[in-house]
Chain A
Amino acid sequence: MSSYVFVVLGAVLVNNVVFVRVLGLCPFMGVSKKLETALGMGYATTFVLTLGSGTSYLIDHYLLAPNDLSYLRTLSFIVVIAAIVQLTELIIEKTSPLLHQVLGIYLPLITTNCAVLGVPLLNVAMSHNLLESLLFGFGSSIGFTMALILFAGIRERLEGADVPVPFRGTAIAMITAGLMSLAFMGFAGLDRYQ
């Protein structure tokens, strides 16, 4: 039981996808200018990443591994994730126009978030079981969402700051991300305590 807690905790804080594993940075930099959009992207990613982790586990475990097809992992994972994205869009469009309005524009962008492929691949590398894969996917995406939201909060505040001209915009955002990543290093070791 507690090992599952550590899987999630580790994925959210200690090995945060963005700050420690350095994945998913393009959307992290791209859609963090406003809190609102950050939230939308976060929700969408959480959904796809969790589902993608589970599905990828199933594909790897039942289709690829038994047939010695591990070289098809990258391809099949990404294609399946793309399909999940499309299907999600389709389903929410039909069932919840409201949700679609919130998430609609972010869903297509998710396919090129390398965290959605990276996390399933890490699941394989860390030989997680199905539940662990799901939890790891969920934890990672929560970590991503959290990072995105906090970052957006700071960026909104930075809007009025008198930042030196060459650093305005993305440069200072990058520095800020660095400082956040520095802060997250403080969590090192928290997932290992027994």
Chain B
Amino acid sequence: MFEALLVMAGIALVLGAVLGFASVRFKVQGDPLVDKIDAILPQTQCGQCGFPGCRPYANAIADGEADINQCPPGGDEGVRKLADLLGREYKPLNEEHGVEKPKAVAMIDEQTCIGCTLCIQACPVDAIVGAAKQMHTVVASECTGCELCVAPCPVDCITMEPLPETVQNWKWKYPTIPIGKAA
């Protein structure tokens, strides 16, 4: 009995000391996981996931505070990638956060625009150019299609236009009905 206590106490003491020490000394470190998650997110910065931007959502996923199926722009494939990265089960997109939509860009009706700059302030990626009391325009190649500019516009001159398919961005379709991935 006494030896038992001695042995175990010794082991426990050493172990406890080492672990306590280690936990303090080696605590702070950037979380590389967040970067990996962030790299998967589409960077639309739309906030549909319930976080102010993609990176905060990435942080939340890494901390286990958010599920992996909250980003509609990332779509089904995004969820799959996240599931893969985190070794979790895939689950369909949570519809509470919205549904996957075809890519679109914002377009400002330049006739109606009154130059209030509200959309500029709303755009998370500075894709709108223009100055106060001047007509505003969206730089289409920079617009992520997040729709954040649509609501603030006081004269409703912003619409989302789906990206048209052109000879340049046309994609070859999957050859036949996929047998494997159909389900």
Contact = CB atoms under 8 A, between A and B. Distances in A.
> Are A and B in contact, CB atoms below 8 Å, in the complex?
yes
Interface of A: 30-31, 33, 63-64, 67, 69, 72, 75-76, 79-80, 82-83, 86-87, 89-90, 93-94, 101, 160-163, 165
Given A72-B8, A75-B8, A76-B11, A86 B3 contact: no
Given A67-B3, A80-B11, A87 B18 contact: yes
Contacts of B26: 90, 93-94
Given A76-B8, A86-B18, A86-B19, 14 more contacts: A30-B87, A31-B87, A33-B84, A64-B7, A67-B4, A69-B3, A69-B4, A75-B8, A79-B15, A83-B18, A83-B19, A101-B32, A161-B180, A163-B180
7 contacts: A30-B87, A67-B3, A67-B4, A79-B11, A83-B18, A86-B15, A89-B22
Chain B interface secondary structure, helix, strand, loop or mixed?
Answer: helix
A88 to B, nearest CB: 11
Contacts of A161: 180
Nearest to B10: A63
A162 B7 contact: no
Contacts of B3: 67, 69
Contacts of B18: 83, 86-87, 90
A162 B19 CA distance: 48
Contact of B87 (A33, A63, A72, A101): A33
Interface string B2-31: 011001100110110011001000100000
Chain A interface secondary structure, helix, strand, loop or mixed?
Answer: helix
A31 B86 CA distance: 11
A31, A69, A82 — most chain B CB neighbours (10 Å): A69
A105 to B, nearest CB: 9
A86 B22 contact: yes
Q: Return the 7 tightest CB-CB contacts between A and B, nearest first.
A: A67-B3, A162-B180, A83-B15, A162-B179, A90-B22, A69-B4, A79-B11
Nearest to A71: B4
Nearest to B11: A79
B183 interface: yes
B7 A63 contact: yes
Nearest to B1: A69
B4 A72 contact: yes
A83 B19 CA distance: 8
Nearest to B29: A93
Nearest to A76: B11
Nearest to A75: B8
B7 A165 contact: no
Contact of B7 (A30, A67, A101): A67
A90 to B, nearest CB: 5
A160 B84 CA distance: 15
Contacts of A76: 7-8, 11
